[in-house]
Amino acid sequence: MIEVKNVNKSFDGNHVLKNVSAIFEDGKTNMIIGASGSGKTVLMKSIIGLHRIDSGKIEYDGRNLPDMRMKDIRILRREVGMLFQGSALFDSMTVLENVMYPLEMFSKADKTEMEERARYCLKHVDLKEKSYNLAPSEISGGMQKRVAIARAIALQPKYLFCDEPNSGLDPKTSLIIDRLIHDITVEFNITTIINSHDMNSVMEIGENIIFINKGIKAWQGNKNDIFHVDNKDLNDFVFASELYKKVKHTNS
């Protein structure tokens, strides 16, 4: 479980996060949603420790990140997997080498065991064996996301962060990636935090949704609650399209 308490973050006098508190639970797909510039990426980067917060607490199962020394943060990060918006695969390595990389850095297993684990992870994300020896640039965006998920789970993380996992993907592939993230979260009982503004994802896997508006946590609930909320900012954001207005109308 990750608990965020009264987090504040400013950049050059611009107060981006204002007293944000939230709980991200184990085995659930926790989503941070909000419009562009609302502060959701800053919140996620602060939780991971890529931004140093001005005040507040970020507790990973009781371990407060801002109090940790860099050495301890590095150790904690070995329990973290992350799926980046652009996949962030190492382009000097093949698909298989990308997934083996965290194992080679941190596991004591021999090469055969590492390769077995990497192949298991790639199989788990439904990636065909013929692509294992290809470079990331030689596979599609959807496949790159799968490889990134496989790399993120290679070391059996306790926490998984996904930054806009569906960006640049077609709706069908997005759905597959969403379900994959959800299944992995449940199967391995991971604390997953997804940063998204894709409403399809929210409706599909939003088990714990946090809405950030102008740096403030404006709402928290799940995908079922979202239809019955009387929050104008949230409704304007979630039900912006005609399609979702109709969905809301039908549901409420």
Partner 1 sequence: MNIFEDAGRYTLLMRRVLVFPDRWKMFFRQFPKELEKLGLQSLPIVIIISIFIGAIMTIQTKLNTENPLLPTYSTGLVTRDTLLLEFSSTILCLILAGKIGSNIASEIGTMRITEQIDALEIMGVNSANYLILPKIAAFVFTMPFLVIFSMAVGLFGGYLVGVFSDVITTADYLLGIQYAFIPYYVLYSLVKSLVFAFIISSVAAYYGYYASGGALDVGKASTNAVVNSSILILFFNLLITNLMLN
Q: Which stretch binds partner 1 (CB under 8 A): 6-14, 15-23, 82-90, 165-173?
A: 82-90
Burial readout 79-112 (b: 16 or more C-beta within 10 A, e: otherwise) = bbbbbbbebebeeeebbbbbbbbbbeeebeeeee
Question: Shortest distance, CB of residue 43 to partner 1, whole angstroms?
Answer: 16
Site string for partner 1, 98-117 (x = CB under 8 A): ---xx-xxx-----------
Under rule CB under 8 A, residue 1 binds partner 1: no
Report DSSP state, residue 225.
Answer: G
Amino acid at 57: K
Helix (H) or strand (E) holding 187: helix 171-188
Please, what's the largest Cα pairwise distance for the chain? 57
Question: Shortest distance, CB of residue 86 to partner 1, whole angstroms?
Answer: 6
Crossing angle, helix 141-153 and helix 171-188, to 10 degrees? 10
**Residue in this structure with the two tokens 């962030």, named with its chain if needed:** 88
According to CB under 8 A, which one of 22, 43, 44, 80 is a site residue for partner 1?
Answer: 80
Question: Shortest distance, CB of residue 36 to partner 1, whole angstroms?
Answer: 17
CA 80/CA 191 separation, integer angstroms: 10
Under rule CB under 8 A, residue 167 binds partner 1: no
Q: Determine contact, residues 151/99, Cβ cutoff 8 Å.
A: yes
Question: Shortest distance, CB of residue 144 to partner 1, whole angstroms?
Answer: 11
Residue numbers 44-73 binding partner 1 by CB under 8 A: 48, 50, 73
Number of residues that bind partner 1 (CB under 8 A): 25
Q: Which is nearer to partner 1, 36 or 252 (CB)?
A: 36
Residue numbers 169-198 binding partner 1 by CB under 8 A: none
Q: How far apart are the first and last CA of the chain?
A: 32
Question: Shortest distance, CB of residue 198 to partner 1, whole angstroms?
Answer: 19
Task: Give the footprint of partner 1 on this chain (CB under 8 A).
Answer: 48, 50, 73-78, 80-82, 84-86, 88-91, 101-102, 104-106, 155, 161
